[in-house]
Amino acid sequence: MIVAANWKMNLNLSDGAELVNDLFKGMPQLSDEKQVVIATPFLHLTQTAGQLAGMDHVHLGAQNCHHEAAGAYTGEVSASMLKSAEVKYVIVGHSERRQYNGEDDAMLAKKVNQALANDMQVIFCCGEPLEIRDANTENSYVEAQLKNGLFHLGADHLKNVVIAYEPIWAIGTGRTASSQQAQDMHAHIRTVLATEYGSAVAADMTILYGGSCKPSNAAELFACPDVDGGLIGGASLKADEFLGIINAMVNA
């Protein structure tokens, strides 16, 4: 299982350093089966990498990478630059980037390739907006996101991908998917993966839930058989809340 923090565009450098220090003070025993990722803004990466050095099972993440390897892309950061900053995980396809930065499936597939080519793990986000959920077409919507963003990969590369299901109507809204809604979609995602890659590959995939996950609902969500942890936005910005979610994973 994995619990991943997504700081989004929050925290200046000193706030970030303090938060990581506070997390260390309360961090429970982690293991190969129970790991933590902290995905910071680019600006924080080298500072946070220094803080995480020597910390077992807590990994540095980035929230994006560019879809090309290098070149005249002012203001952008490439996957190989992230790799050189000790980044282990790259979030690709977050709904906020799809929506506000116009990132489409073809671009996301290229970002996935860039991250994997640089030996990092991908946290690939999928999830439907409210109107799709209300129309009861969320299963086919999410299936298309997975096919278009990931299914060009062979199974040997797919194993370096973590999937995060984040219903858009639950992100930052305080409205969490019920554990049944989360479980149903996670089971659907695993079935879609099994159809394409076989049940052994699908069973090994880590599928995170994201969307207003909090200490108060994490244990119930993580108890679902197909929920393998969480991608945490708002509740990752306060050490006590994020530690509460990490503890829910450790005890799951």
Q: Is 166 a catalytic residue?
A: yes
Q: Which of 103, 143, 166, 241 is catalytic?
A: 166
The C-alpha angle with vertex 219 and arms to 213 and 220, in degrees rounded to 5, equals 85
CB of 170 to ligand PGA, least distance (A): 6
- Whether 177 contacts 139, CB under 8 Å: no
Using CB under 6 A as the binding rule, whether residue 3 contacts ligand PGA is answered as no
H or E element, residue 54: none
Any contact of residue 233 with ligand PGA (CB under 6 A)? yes
Q: Does 11 bind ligand PGA (CB under 6 A)?
A: no
DSSP assignment letter at 63: S
Q: Which of residues 153-172 bind ligand PGA (CB under 6 A)?
A: 166, 171-172
Instruction: Confirm or reject binding of residue 48 to ligand PGA (CB under 6 A).
Output: no
Question: Any contact of residue 35 with ligand PGA (CB under 6 A)?
Answer: no
The CA distances from residue 115 to 93, 144, 158, in Å, are: 12, 21, 12
Q: Are 29 and 62 in contact (CB under 8 A)?
A: no
Q: Rule CB under 6 A: is residue 212 a binding residue for ligand PGA?
A: yes
Burial 175-210 (b: 16+ CB within 10 A, else e): ebbebebbbbbbebbbebbeebbeeeebeebbbbbb
| Contacting residue, 211, 239, 242, 249, with ligand PGA by CB under 6 A | 211
Q: Is 67 a residue of the active site? A: no
Would you please indicate which residues are annotated as catalytic (active-site) residues?
94, 166
Question: Contact residues for ligand PGA (CB under 6 A)?
Answer: 6, 166, 171-172, 210-213, 231-235
